[in-house]
Amino acid sequence: MKKNEIEIASKNIHEMMEKGKLKKRAVTEGTELEIMTREHPRWDEFCDRLEGPEGCNFRQDENGKWIWDCDNDQSLAIAILEKMGAIDIPDSLEYFEEHGGYCDCEILMNVDREEE
Ligand SMILES: [Zn+2]
């Protein structure tokens, strides 16, 4: 995803959260919002997507050094959680921060690996 697309996606999410649309839509669909934690059944799917081209896009450069994209915020994680649906995004971000995930790559490096 290009940087400006990410900015648009996270801007839309913030606008939707302000207007309370995320919660209202979930109630309409009869779905409970869930917090994305390591115990969530879709945690591995979330991490795979955050690691891949949709997220940080972890890859090796020509010298074999690992490189990835991160804007020092949680915009990639927010965009993925929004696409996954029925996730309580503000509470999930709070959980990530409690476990050292202050930006997208830290979610993978700190939150996902904390207990390994
Ligand atoms: Zn980062």
Nearest alpha carbon to residue 83 among 22, 4, 3: 22
Length of the chain counted residue by residue: 116
Q: Which of 22-26, 55-59, 76-80 has the lowest mean pLDDT?
A: 22-26
Separation of 83 CA from ligand 1 center, angstroms? 20
Separation of 103 CA from ligand 1 center, angstroms? 4
Separation of 33 CA from ligand 1 center, angstroms? 26
Separation of 101 CA from ligand 1 center, angstroms? 8
Query: What are the pLDDT digits (tens) for 70-106?
Result: 999 999 999 999 999 999 999 999 999 999 999 999 9
Given a contact cutoff of 8 angstroms between Cβ atoms, the answer to whether 67 and 76 are in contact is no
Residue 84: the pLDDT is: 97
Kindly state the greatest CA–CA separation across the chain. 51
Nearby residues for ligand 1 (ion, Cβ within 5 Å): 70, 103, 105
Domain ranges within the chain, ordered by starting residue: 3-111
Report helix, strand or coil for 103: coil
